[in-house]
Structure 1
Amino acid sequence: MLDRGMESAAFYDSLPRLAAFEALADPASYAALPDDWVVGCADIVGSTREIAAGRYKTVNMIGAAVISAQINAAGGRAFPYVFGGDGAAFATAPGQAGIAAAQLAAVQRWAGEEFGITLRIAQASLVQIRSAGVDVAVARHQASPDVDYAMFAGGGIAWLEARMKAGEFALPPARAGTRPDLTGLSCRWSHIRARNGTILSLVIVPAGGVPGTGFARTAEAVLSIARALDRDGHPIPVQGAPVGWPPSGIALEAQAGRRNRLALLAETFFAWAVLRFDLRVGRFDPRAYKQAVGRNADFRKFDDGLKMTLDCDPETVSRLRAVLDAAQAEGSIRYGLYEQEEAMMTCIVPSAMQEDHVHFIDGAAGGYALAAAQIKAR
């Protein structure tokens, strides 16, 4: 029989993987995290300013680095996390809390010293979060046969992010020169142009902070509209994202890993040739890999709200806006949407020989960050 600590640590492993994304609009699909778990989050100060300066790829990479550092520190243990464009959040069992805090601080130090970007970081226990009258519940969405992503509900993640921005629950900074382990973090794919008119970044949050019936009803209506799109609006083509050389993110990757740029150029040229011309190398099948990239991508998520990056036509944008305007007028939700011509992808690929690589999708010209900024401006 497992003791209480082991039962708590095994909580996430025990959750069912839900293949139907629509089921995640139902609060009954979620399970509350154990009381002794902790939640960490991070976001970039002044991300709108960084976007205006043309640094959104850097912003995305730092947001993904928060998750990459946690994955590498977890030693193969699965845990719930979510990518937000200009930040990220995660939850972990109590035995990992100290390591998780240290990795958050390491990414914060790295972001400041390598890129001149200030990253807020915070960590709080479930007891502290629940004492504020909100909760953190989680579900697992089976995006593909090889990858699942966590979905969050209950209002606790959004509450902690707001408290973090107010200066609460901050973690002590890491020593100068501290670097996180970002093995596998990359941004080598080219931007993905819209095939149907626009790449739409959509952020919907419950008006009261905690998703209720009004939010669930609106989410279901939005998902119903998206279902009419090719592959539910997935921005990555079935055959995979385009590749180019040199990759647009090579300077970022070299700086992130402190790698020799010439060596990285040679490595990425080989990878580009393999993917561009579908050259089999041993057991590696480039066509299968590119198709897996699309299947594994997180183009939609529930994160105390609904976030989606959709490839859609103008008519669909108008239908979505009408539904969202009506829901906002009745007071059940707030929303922001931002249109751009391309999507972009930041990846965590521990090994190209395995198919559990994860790919974070966002709009290439401001995406989730600018959509969320519209909510704040209202």
Structure 2
Amino acid sequence: MEKYKDFLRKVPSFDDFLHISDDKNFLTVPEDWGLILTDIKGSTKAVQSGRYREVNMVGAACITALLNEFNVRELPFVFGGDGATLLVPPEFKIQASVALKSVQAWSKKEFDLELRSFIFDLKEVYDEGHRLLLGKYQLSQGNVIYQFRGGALRRAEEKMKKGLGGLAIEASESEIAPKLQGLTCRWEPLSTQKGTILTILVSAAGNEEKSFDIYHRVLAGLREILGGNFKIACPTNPGSMKIKWPPKTLVIEAKSRPGKFISEFFGAAVDSLIAFIMIRFNVSAGGFDPRKYKSEIISNSDFQKYDDLLRMVLDCSSKQAQEIESLLKSFEERGEIVFGTHRSPQALMTCLVFSATQNQHLHFIDGAQGGYTLAAVDLKKKKAT
């Protein structure tokens, strides 16, 4: 355990997202770690039928279950909308597989969504000449989201899709409920304050050195269009954050709890009512300050990240969205990138709250109406041609 914690302490930290292209901000992951890939089979069809809240909940559940299983708050992961990518140290591999089996069974039982999970020994892709490097993008004091680079993740995804490696975590009729404490989605969809929510995925061409020169130039161009600061395009802001009672996601939250549905439904209803009153009317109690909490939500939103693929969900004007797509198209026409986009009037926020009083919470952002999933469809079509 101490060896794993020691490695994560050594991973460099940075607070300017443009610095994902700087080598000094990354550290190579030991080859004995496990790389976990999860996604929902048929997620495109599910989001097209309006089930994007459920898809996001299952994707976030993969992360929540492992953090709770190991009773840790710092484990490298990336939320991808319809799934997640996670890294686990060698001593956690078997336990991680068991925990994911429970998530798979829960996902199928409660939402009829088939969650696929694979685990790779990093040595398998390292032996092919790839590497996985980690950097910490610091959202606020004590809250980071890890950035993955080096090509190993992309290679593992290729091998998974072609059935060429890794170990499939087979779904089973698990009787054990996944540990999903802290997973909620009570906020209303985040309505754009500027005109449109633009979800973008960017995949750069070339080797590692060449691709990161490309990403640096892409990000520099995006930041200029957005007014010099990525954070002003965060979909989570005081104008977009609305909470109502009962939340539309009450049934989904009840299904994420381990007890019988009826009792958990009423429990979730009571908990969400208390939260609604305190947040809506700025009632402080028990160390909880709603104004401070709402400010922290904005800081702790993961609307931009990198995992061998640049992922961003931006609140921007229609003019800015057009300029962004034109910028990306110019890179694409030169053969430097392939990109996919999706526009919607709202973004969705799924919350992982371990402590609302101690600033221990993260908020997963996706474009509404299938943001990341449909942007990925757009990107894959281009890659196919």
Unaligned stretches of 5+ in structure 2?
A: none
Query: Which residue number in structure 1 is paired with residue 373 of structure 2?
Result: 369
| Alignment equivalent of 1:273, drawn from 272, 277, 280 | 277
Deviations 1:93-138 (A, max 9, x none): 1111111122222211211122111111000111012123322111
Deviations 1:14-54 (A, max 9, x none): 22321111111224421110121111110011111001111
Matches within 5 A, 1:207-286: 207-208=205-206, 211-228=211-228, 231-238=231-238, 241-257=241-257, 258=259, 259=261, 260-286=264-290
Alpha-carbon spacing, 1:9–1:354, altered in 2? closer, same or farther (3 Å): closer
8 Å CA contact retained: 2:21, 2:212: no
How far, CA to CA, are the matches of 1:21 and 1:238 in structure 2?
22
Tell me the CA shift for residue 172 of structure 1.
3.2
Tell me the CA shift for residue 209 of structure 1.
8.0
Query: Which residue number in structure 2 is paired with residue 152 of structure 1?
Result: 148
Deviations 1:170-199 (A, max 9, x none): 123344333211111111111110010001
State the superposition RMSD in angstroms.
1.9
2:291 is equivalent to residue 287 of structure 1? yes
Matches within 5 A, 1:328-367: 328-367=332-371
Residues 91-100 or 187-196, more deviating = 91-100
Alpha-carbon spacing, 1:53–1:308, altered in 2? closer, same or farther (3 Å): same
Query: Which residue number in structure 2 is paired with residue 323 of structure 1?
Result: 327
Matches within 5 A, 1:1-378: 6-76=2-72, 78-167=74-163, 168-169=165-166, 170-208=168-206, 211-228=211-228, 231-238=231-238, 241-257=241-257, 258=259, 259=261, 260-378=264-382
Residue 204 of structure 1 aligns to a residue whose secondary structure is strand
Number of positions where the alignment pairs a residue of Structure 1 with one of Structure 2: 374
Equivalent residue letter for 1:140: K
Equivalent residue letter for 1:329: E
How far, CA to CA, are the matches of 1:127 and 1:51 in structure 2?
35
Tell me the CA shift for residue 217 of structure 1.
2.5
8 Å CA contact retained: 1:246, 1:269: yes
Alpha-carbon spacing, 1:362–1:209, altered in 2? closer, same or farther (3 Å): farther
Alpha-carbon spacing, 1:243–1:196, altered in 2? closer, same or farther (3 Å): same
8 Å CA contact retained: 2:223, 2:229: no
Tell me the CA shift for residue 8 of structure 1.
4.9
Unaligned stretches of 5+ in structure 1?
A: none
Identity of aligned residues (%): 33
How far, CA to CA, are the matches of 1:263 and 1:9 in structure 2?
36
How far, CA to CA, are the matches of 1:7 and 1:297 in structure 2?
29
How far, CA to CA, are the matches of 2:69 and 2:364 in structure 1?
19
